[in-house]
Amino acid sequence: MNGTERKNIKPGFKVKIIQKQHQRTGQLTEGVVKDILTNSAVHPHGIKVRLESGIIGRVQEIMG
């Protein structure tokens, strides 16, 4: 599943996100979704979430 549709993402899901400062390198961060920050149903760069660790980024991959 890809992270561009809000309906695919729920709190508690394990995901890989890309942080703003890592967009050039493409470095992904793995974690568990705490909050969904994007209000729109679809976002072309990925839905913005806050992980339980407090890190904010856009979902690139949903692991379940």
The reported pTM is 0.92
Residue 30 in any domain: the answer is: yes
Q: What is the pLDDT of residue 54?
A: 97
Residue 15 in any domain: the answer is: yes
Residue 1 in any domain: the answer is: no
CATH at residue 50: 2.30.30
Four-residue CA torsion sign, 58, 43, 60, 30: positive
**What mean pLDDT, rounded, does the chain reach?**
95
Chain segment 5-33, per-residue pLDDT in tens? 999 999 999 999 999 999 999 999 999 99
Q: What is the pLDDT of residue 10?
A: 96
State how many domains the chain has.
1
Q: Tell me which amino acid residue 25 is.
A: T
C-alpha 27/C-alpha 37 separation (Å) is 21
Provide the domain limits for residue 33: 6-62
Four-residue CA torsion sign, 43, 11, 31, 64: negative
Residue 31 in any domain: the answer is: yes
